[in-house]
Amino acid sequence: MYWKIFLFLLMSFVIVAGFCFPIVPVPAHWYQFPLIPGLEEKARIIFFHVPTAWLTVIAFFFSTYFSAKYLRNKDWQDDIKAYASAQIGMVFCILATITGSVWAKFNWGSFWNWDPRETSIFALLLIYGALFALRSALDNEEKRAQLSAVYNLISFITVPFFIFIMPRIMTGLHPGSAGDEGGSGPIVNFKMNGNMRIIFFASLIAFTILYYWIYQISSRTLILIEKNNRKLIEE
Amino acid sequence: MLKSSLALFLKDVYSELRTRYAINALVMFIIVTISVILFSIGNEKISDFLTGGLFWVVIFFSAMSGLSRGFVSEEERGTVMTLQLTAKSSVVFTGKLFFNLILGFSMNILIALLYAVVFDTFRISSLGIFVCIFILGNIGLAVSSTLIAAIISKANSKGTLYPVLSFPILLPLMMILVDLTKSCMGGVILQEVMVEIAILVCYDIIMLAASYLLFEFIWEY
């Protein structure tokens, strides 16, 4: 219960800080962001775009973890947990694509450029979509759980390639791609200004706790619905 | 184990050759796809690299049409239970993989020949490297396709679901292959593409290992 209050305070702080902290050429206080030429006010989107992409990968990772657990134990609750996590991952994948598109429009000129990272998030959208299509094409519950668990594991093999390897070795527009002189980009290299870094990591932590909260509610609801269905069938 | 897989492979070959309607349909599908591309291009001049990309499009859709036959035909004929009783899952997978490899190779060689005849801009400068990536790409295609075919053979709308499930798995492979085809058409020495060929080999090995590990969960019920 206390962590929910903590999440509320943290998230409010992140939202207020992300939108209202002033951007000045030379930051003097801890609550001022530096002026990045070319981005100016629009740099604020980094606090919301990167955490949604981060959440997509985490949600998919946990979906795969519960799928692997299902294949070991054949416990239907693990399959439901994998499904709940995949649902959340899909929502945040769509959000990451939209926020990324908006950022691409004002930074690089067009909504979609087939930059490696953009291609990766699109591939992730396709994987989630295929997972849901597979689930809806199977009627038998055990077969559905089994086969979607196998597909989850297979597609998880391609995900690290897409998210971590490909954008760094191919030339592209995102910072951290092959032709970028700055190295691995502002996040891995910690070249972000200290003030922005605080809010950015606070945002990451807040979004992660938010994922955990949504996942708890979602998985518990789905498990209760399923338990209810099974009791009705048994009666 | 190799003898049992070979026996399974031969059984599939004989049953396909007995009626031949599947092979005829596949050949017609290839001809139809290439014709559709020809007609949509019309009299326009397209760049060489575009023909290279379209080559892999034709290969992908022919694979989606033909490589699911191994498992779907078993479901349709009702022989799945017999197969489950007679052979271990790894034996079944090896047999079906071998069948898909041979089928895939024959289809793709036919596609390559037809393509070279039809499109005069499809000229490969570095033929040796192209043969190398052709073989490696085919192996990767067959391995992934066989596993996904096993998954969809138990689902409802098999035909439509197969490309939907296969595309994300095959996407890294397709991207590397299109890029390498582009390099081959332009002319390249082995040193320059060593990294990408290494990625191809890695993809093949990883997908092969994962398929063997996961096939047991699909097959045994």
Residue of B147, B151, B202 for testing the chain A interface, max A β-carbons within 10 Å? B151
In this complex, do A158 and B147 lie within 8 Å of one another by their Cβ atoms? Answer: no
- pLDDT band for position A84 (cuts 50, 70, 90): very high
Quick one: closest CA in A to B211, which residue? Answer: A154
Task: Quote the DSSP letter at residue A23.
Answer: E
CA neighbours closer than 13 Å in the CB half-sphere of residue B74: 22
pLDDT in tens, A165-219: 777 767 667 776 665 555 555 555 555 677 778 888 888 999 999 999 999 999 9
In this complex, do A146 and B218 lie within 8 Å of one another by their Cβ atoms? Answer: yes
Tokens read off for B131:
């043969």
Residue of B165, B170, B211, B213 for testing the chain A interface, max A β-carbons within 10 Å? B165
In this complex, do B155 and A137 lie within 8 Å of one another by their Cβ atoms? Answer: yes
Contacts of B218 (CB under 8 A, 6+ apart): A146, A147, A150, B147, B150, B151, B154
Displacement of CA A230 from its chain's centroid (Å): 33
pLDDT in tens, B45-71: 888 788 888 999 999 999 999 898 888
Task: Quote the DSSP letter at residue B136.
Answer: H
Place of tokens 């990045």: A36
Task: Quote the DSSP letter at residue A31.
Answer: T
Specify if A34 maps to a domain.
no
Q: Is A18 helix (H, G, I), strand (E, B) or coil?
A: helix
Domain carrying residue A118: 2-19+47-234
Q: What is the pLDDT of residue A108?
A: 80
Mean pLDDT, residues B175-192 = 85
Q: What is the mean pLDDT of chain B?
A: 89
Q: What is the ipTM of this complex?
A: 0.90
In this complex, do A154 and B169 lie within 8 Å of one another by their Cβ atoms? Answer: yes
In this complex, do B168 and A158 lie within 8 Å of one another by their Cβ atoms? Answer: yes
- Residues B186 and B119: their CA atoms lie apart, in Å, by 16
**Is residue B184 scored above 90 in pLDDT?**
no
Domain count, chain A: 1
| B167 phi and psi angles, rounded to 5 deg | -60, -45
Residue of A121, A128, A147, A161 for testing the chain B interface, max B β-carbons within 10 Å? A147
Specify if A26 maps to a domain.
no
| A23 phi and psi angles, rounded to 5 deg | -105, 115
How many C-beta neighbours within 10 Å does residue A45 have? Answer: 17
In this complex, do B168 and A146 lie within 8 Å of one another by their Cβ atoms? Answer: no
Confidence (pTM): 0.89
Nearest beta carbon to residue B171 from set A123, A139, A151: A123
Domain locations in chain B as residue ranges: 2-219
Specify if A174 maps to a domain.
yes
Displacement of CA A223 from its chain's centroid (Å): 23
- Residues B66 and B60: their CA atoms lie apart, in Å, by 10
In this complex, do B154 and A126 lie within 8 Å of one another by their Cβ atoms? Answer: no
